[in-house]
Structure 1
Amino acid sequence: MAMHLTLATALAVSLTLPALAQDTASADNAAGDLRGQPYSPNANRGFPTRVLFGDTHVHSALSADAGGGGTTLMPRDMYRFARGEQVTSNTGQPVMLERPFDFYMLTEHTDGMGVITDIKKGAPNIMADAQGKKFHEAFAKGGDDAKQASIDLIAQFSQGTLSQALLYQPGMPGYDNTWRDLVQAAEEFNDPHVFTAMIAYEWTSLTEGNNLHRNVIFRDGPERALQVVPFLMAPPMGSPDPRDLWKWMQSYEDKTGGDVLAIPHNPNLSNGIMFALNDTLNNNAPFDREYLQTRQQWEKLVEIGQTKGDSETHPMLSPTDEFAEYERWDWANLDVSEAKTPEMLATEMVRNTLKNGLAFEQSDGINPFKLGFVGGSDIHTGLTTQLDNNFFGAFTWMEPSKTRATSVAKGNADLGISYKGWQYATPGPTAVWATENTRAGIFDAMERREVYATTGPRITVRFFGGDFAADDIKHRELARIGYSKGVPMGGDLAGSDAPSFLVYALRDPIGANLDRIQIIKGWVDTNGETHEKIHDVVWAGDRTPGDDGKLPAVGNTVDLSIPSWTNDIGRAELGTVWTDPEFDPSQHAFYYARVIEIPTPRWTAYDAVRFDVDMPDEVKMITQERAYTSPIWYTPEG
């Protein structure tokens, strides 16, 4: 059953407690759920009531591939920007967010931490090294020379040919001082209950150009974080093997009593090794039980999308999914040293990985890929700009200009592969259902996977699995009903009866209306074969699915000449209770919700108008933004 609010009502409504119209009979039924409870619906409330939006993955000039490419914004500039202040971009343009972030995680690369500062200033130890001197001279020239030097630095690091002199290690002043300053900057800007600056870093593992990066997030403050230095990829003190990162994480918790988690990102640039079904770094050996348990312990989340493409699924894996084409990057690995082949997709796309996790659970009793969803930008300008009308690009060369969309970003002539600026996406935030805006509140929500990702807009989504009646969606206290009768996103279900799911979404107050909500189901049968199905469970308008089961498109109000759109189609909110009609209590399964907006102009459309340029036909100009909730898993009893 779809629900509709006028725009004025939608903006006034509580994000946790949507005011939904209901008839008298439904109101009586809903009231029955509260009989015997305190009159105040807020009394004794222990569940999360706040949705907080933030970035879990962003870089300042202190990361070599950012600072080398012309980024000048430093950590304190970024925090000021993230909390809503206007700053001057790396190319001298004024820039400000439409709304501040609630939290922010600066994730500088671990390897070479501090080296870019010395390269750019021409420190004696750098100038004494042939590679170091060459990079200094290229970065000093700026422009295309600096851009190419930044690309070359990444490629040489990923292929293991970067000079040891440029691989700063813990114990070196440049490394240790940089880490201390990053922690101190986070502490200076951390304002509990107002703006949370988490301490974090990016473990930068690359194996022959294949991305295995993880963002490591601390629950803790400087008193614990400064007892350690980040774990590296490069030897002698580092390793490219995730097993060794997990050992470092265990050691950190044992030493400090703190808490950390790791978030894999950009599996779409791993060429199939991020979620491989065997140990690709150890002679393709089968995973042992310890590996499966350890991975499940430390990696509870995955970055499902960012500026370098969406990693939910792919048309070759999900041929019946009409929305599987979204911001697709499928041509190569991170440094474009190896072309992607179709068989690589099955062990890097997230939906298929969730299905593979179910197969592991059925065969081994452990699911190593039990992953909730977060967003992240991976922006290297220090400026997390997530809406299409305010996109300042992924790198400094991509800040607003007439040519950024059609400029070649990276390529490999020998492989015949290249991609352009327009193929970068506006990145989305992580949304957290938290009890409070603090490091502890945000981290704990992430650990229990009560988080979701969007591709930019601040869509509000609630998703519960349990035993719900159809009239529950009409209740004014959806969160109270959800927690009392089921589990939230990220949770687990068991039992013999078909679960029902309560899902509700409210559009971004300054954004576009909603087209539909889908529930994606994945499962494994008794033969170990995995399956998936997309269910349109509630939608705007009077559309009826066709004979093929597909829902007609919502329409399109985009005017590219402005560019803009109107909310004459779609709905401000959608919600329903849905029960799986094909439920089998003997099968392991997962369910997650995907909320789709109506069409809106892409960032390239704003560039076309503001710079008065004609975009080539290949350039995408219209998008349909979305949100992905973390899954709910069903496990058969016994």
Structure 2
Amino acid sequence: MTRRMVSLALSTTLLASPLLAQVTTDAGTIDPEKIERFFNQPGYSPYAGRSFPTRPLWGEQHLHTSWSPDAFAGGTRVGPDDALRYAEGEEITSSTGQQVKLSRPYDWMVVADHSDALGIVASIYEGDPALLADPVLKRWHDGMQKGGESATAVVMEMITAQGEGKVPEAMTDPETQMDMWTNMTGIVESHNKPGQFTALIGYEWTSNYGGGNNLHRNVIYRDDKYFADQVRPLTTFDTEQPRELWDWMQAYEDKTGGRLLAIPHNGNLSNGLMFATETPDGNPIDTEWAESRARWEPLYEVTQSKGTSEQHPSLAPSDEFANFELWDKGNLNVVPKEPGMIEYEYARQALKRGLLLEDEFGTNPFKFGLVGSTDDHTGVSSAEENNFWGKFPASEPGPERSTGNAFDFEGRTVKDWQLGASGLTAVWAVENTRAAIWDAMKRKEVYGTTGPRIGLRFFGGWEFEEADALGRNPGTIGYGKGVPMGADLMPAPEGASAPNFLVAALKDPYSGNLDRIQIIKGWVDAEGEMQEKIFDVVWAGDRAPGEDGKLPPVGDTVDVENASFTNTIGAPELITVWTDPEFDPALDAFYYARVIEIPTPRWTAYDAAYFEESDFPEDTVMKVTERAYSSPIWYSAGE
């Protein structure tokens, strides 16, 4: 096992000046071939001529504003314009009248309001006579006007009606939908500042098939308003079948010449449907289905406020970090799960199953990268534990959220304290523009975190050496010798025995030190059984694995009562080269990196310290081990 921890001066890009040893021969003389290969520089400057991404661009691809019907009904009054100003770093007023600001601006954002009834609920609230002629809409109007529990009940009824296909016809007029869409794209366009801040056009297609089974997708445009305005966004009033969403995306591209991708989320709330081997209506998947899903859905949202769905502890009992911010009671309507459903809801299981399906169909439908976002419905994207603004206005900061319900369907509840302050997406794009960010998403050179802005590089190849972990330029070496996260390993050169990986992580200066980096491997064995294994590849301190192979905990400095911690344990950065010690060239596999922070206070601890009158239950989680998930790198035995 290679284990190196480098604690040199911090670099916010992980790309400082190269060490001389990396461009010299054994005799100590400059090797021109190494300079050309690693730097491709036209002269003295090692940065001139560099064409690869040099820093992660941080953003949010899943935020709802007052234009989403459930958000407005729940009291959200922050619209897309204010939400984008907030993302750019401005201070705004939340729906509960509180001032709120990010610790640091984002580089980009997608306002992903629901396409269903986009912007229409405000008209119901304001009392549009034509809409209030419908008795259901009149009741919703009255409930929203009353606010509080009455407004929350309206939100729950809206979600149920949408999931059951019983939304009043007055809300589904296509012309009204198109008018609202062109207004939305105009707002987004006004905030797009290439090179400074990117406002991507997008929306959420919100299939709750069968009554709350979450099959939601965020549709992300590479294009500007001119293209996006040519086709009305798809709604679940049109269809709840993902295959028909993909058909719509194909029709959009055929008509406009534009480009789209979709990002599924919350498989943990799909009650077994998100990664099933049958379509939602019960038909077996086929080659066309596999090819379509692989084409249109290159990413998966692995973490957000409604739970993290990397892996479930019941599916990986040896993974001590799997039990993290779980929402596993039921679907979006909290309809309880049945045995076997969890198997088809979590990302790691899907990545493994994708290898099996590739053998059957010739295409891996679950060959996705990993991202994170908040899915906040407040117009306020909040992924920081000490700056968390909840899911809906009812769960914005206040002593009452210690005992409040985030969701309540006929007594089936999820508590506010079970919301997670998660997550964010980092994109390795060559520039801060729509095209560059979208292209990075499409090639899966992205990663998700549970909130902190952890720097993460992950490269796979066959020629990395231990000395490559001693430098300050893992990006330069990684692109020179291998492939980045999201890619396929190149064919093995003659004489190579196993793939190796260069992985580097840098702490968020606003968050905790790093505990360890793990590489998670998944494969299908010779008997056709799905397998996985977690390798601790580099860690902080002088710990050593025990007899059981497990690395001891890093420690804990959290003072829950005062919502504080110290960075006296852990490391500010970690880097290593790791070679798979159990590689079998005959078996397909994937690898991804998981970076674990030291324990830090959860948002609930910050609440309890700030609001002295809060009354959290005894079983409330008060600590969190934040993390980052790289997109995988795949090995194909056929290559």
* TM interval, short-chain normalised: over 0.9
Instruction: Look up the match of 1:617.
Output: 618
Q: Note the C-alpha offset of 1:439.
A: 0.3
Q: What do residues 445-472 of structure 1 show as CA deviations (whole Å, max 9, x unaligned)?
A: 0000000000000000000000211111
- The CA deviation at 1:18 is 4.6
Aligned partner of 1:471 among 461, 464, 467 = 467
Structure 1 letter corresponding to 2:217? R
Structure 1 residue 24: Cα displacement: 7.0
Letter in 1 for 2:98: Q
Q: CA RMSD in A?
A: 1.8
Name the counterpart of 1:388: 385
Bigger drift between 381-390 and 360-369 goes to 360-369
Q: Say if 1:331 and 1:417, in contact at 8 Å, map to a contact too.
A: no
Name the residue aligned to 2:305: 307
Provide the residue aligned with 2:419 in structure 1: 424
Work out whether 1:233 is the aligned partner of 2:236.
yes
| Aligned counterpart in structure 1 of residue 147 of structure 2, from 133, 142, 152 | 142
Match of 1:332 in 2: 330
The match for 2:204 is: 202
CA contact 1:63–1:108 (8 Å) conserved in 2: yes
Q: Which residue of 2 aligns with 1:178?
A: 180
Structure 1 residues 225 and 25, CA, compared in 2 at 3 Å: closer, same or farther?
closer
Alignment partner, residue 435 of structure 2? 440
| In structure 1, distance between residues paired with 2:94 and 2:116 | 26
Deviation (angstroms), 1:178: 1.3
Aligned partner of 1:290 among 284, 288, 313: 288
Contact 1:26-1:471 within 8 A present in 2 as well = no
> Structure 1 residues 476, 27: CA separation in 2 closer, same or farther (over 3 Å shift)?
farther
Return the alpha-carbon distance in structure 2 between the equivalents of residues 14 and 597 of structure 1: 17
Write out per-residue CA displacement over residues 111-155 of structure 1, whole angstroms, 9 at most, x where no aligned residue. Answer: 112320221111112211010000000000111111111111111
Do the aligned residues in 2 keep the contact of 1:588 with 1:634 (CA within 8 Å)? yes
SS of structure 1 residue aligned to 2:34? coil
Matched residue, 1:484: 480
Judging changes above 3 Å, is the alpha-carbon distance between structure 1 residues 352 and 25 closer, same or farther for their aligned structure 2 residues?
Answer: closer
**What does residue range 11-160 of structure 1 map to in structure 2 within 5 Å?**
13-18=11-16, 32=31, 34-35=34-35, 38=41, 39-160=44-165
Contact 1:18 1:478 in 2 (8 A): no
Q: Does the 8 A contact of 2:286 with 2:361 survive in 1?
A: no
Structure 2 unaligned blocks of 5 or more:
none
Distance, in Å, in 2 between the alignment partners of 1:290 and 1:206 is 23
Q: Secondary structure at the match of 2:401?
A: coil
The 2-side partners of 1:615 and 1:139 are apart by 28
Contact 2:73 2:121 in 1 (8 A): yes
The corresponding residue for 1:364 is 361
Q: Cα offset for 1:494? A: 4.7
Q: How big is the shift at 1:509?
A: 1.7
Aligned residues: 622
Offset from partner CA, 1:81-115 (integer Å, 9 cap, x none): 11011111100111111000000100110111232
Alpha-carbon contact 1:517-1:538 (below 8 Å) kept:
yes
C-alpha separation in 2, matches of 1:601 and 1:241? 41
Deviates more, 1:591-600 or 1:285-294: 285-294
In structure 2, what is the equivalent of residue 169 of structure 1?
Answer: 173
Q: Are the equivalent residues in 1 in contact too, given 2:22–2:468 (CA < 8 A)? A: no
Deviations 1:143-183 (A, max 9, x none): 111111111111121122332223x2322x3x222111110
Question: What is the aligned partner in structure 2 of residue 405 from structure 1?
Answer: 402
Between 473-482 and 292-301, report the one with greater CA deviation. Answer: 473-482
Provide the residue aligned with 1:574 in structure 2. Answer: 574
Report the CA distance between 1:408 and its aligned residue. 2.2
Amino acid of the structure 2 residue aligned with 1:319: P
Counterpart for residue 544 of structure 1 = 544
**Offset of 1:27 from its aligned partner?**
7.6
Which amino acid is 1:218 matched to? Y
The one-character-per-residue Cα deviations of 1:361-416 (angstroms, maximum 9, x if unpaired) are 12322100001011111100000011111101111000111010221222345xx7
Q: Which amino acid aligns with 2:96?
A: T
Among 310, 317, 320, the residue aligned to 1:319? 317
Q: Which moved more, 1:150-159 or 1:545-554?
A: 150-159
Indicate which of 209, 222, 227 corresponds to 2:225.
222
CA gap 1:342/1:4 in 2 versus in 1, 3 angstroms: farther
211, 214, 219: which one pairs with 1:211?
A: 214
**Secondary structure at 1:578's aligned position in 2?**
strand
**Structure 1 alignment gaps of length 5 or more:** none
- Specify whether residues 310 and 14 from structure 1 end up closer, same or farther in structure 2 by C-alpha distance, changes over 3 A only: closer
Matching of residues 227-266 of structure 1 within 5 Å? 227-234=230-237, 238-266=238-266
- What CA distance in whole angstroms lies between the structure 2 residues aligned with 1:555 and 1:212? 39
Change (3 A) 1:25 1:370: closer
Answer whether contact 1:398 1:421 (CA < 8 A) is retained: yes
SS at match of 2:516: strand
1:277 match:
277
- The 1:169–1:318 alpha-carbon spacing in structure 2 relative to 1, beyond 3 Å, is farther
Per-residue CA deviation, residues 510-560 of structure 1 (Å, 9 max, x unaligned), is 211000000000001222210000000000000010111100000001112
How much has 1:19 moved relative to structure 2?
6.4
Q: Is the 8 A contact 1:362 1:588 kept in 2?
A: no
Name the CA distance, whole Å, in 2 between partners of 1:424 and 1:40. 48
Q: Which amino acid aligns with 1:288?
A: D
How far apart are the structure 1 equivalents of 2:107 and 2:279?
38
1:65, 1:153 within 8 Å by CA — same for their partners in 2?
yes
Aligned residue number for residue 631 of structure 2: 630
CA deviation map 1:267-306 (0-9, x unaligned): 111001011012232xx22212111111111010000010
Counterpart Cα distance in 1 of 2:239 and 2:615: 47
Letter of the structure 2 residue corresponding to residue 480 of structure 1: T
The answer to whether the 8 Å contact 1:513/1:569 transfers is: yes
Question: TM-score, normalised to structure 2's length?
Answer: 0.95
Please give the alpha-carbon distance, in whole angstroms, between the structure 1 residues aligned to 2:148 and 2:254: 46
Tell me the distance in 2 between the aligned counterparts of 1:295 and 1:41. 41
Classify the secondary structure of the residue corresponding to 1:493: coil
Q: Is the 8 A contact 1:19 1:476 kept in 2?
A: yes
Tell me which residue corresponds to 2:191.
189
Corresponding letter in the other structure for 1:634: Y
Tell me how far 1:311 sits from its aligned partner. 0.6
Q: Secondary structure at the match of 2:428?
A: strand
2:173 aligned partner, one-letter code: Q
1:584 aligns with 2:584: yes
Pair 45,116 (structure 1): closer, same or farther in 2 beyond 3 Å? same
Shift of 1:48: 1.2
Deviation at 1:40, TM superposition (A): 2.3
Contact in 2 for aligned 1:494/1:635 (Cα 8 Å): no
Does the 8 A contact of 2:425 with 2:446 survive in 1?
Answer: yes
- CA deviation vs aligned residue, 1:303-333 (integer Å, no higher than 9, x gap): 0010000010000111110000000000010
Cα deviation 1:402-455 (Å, max 9, x = unaligned)? 010221222345xx7422100000011100001000000100000000000000
Letter in 1 for 2:267: P
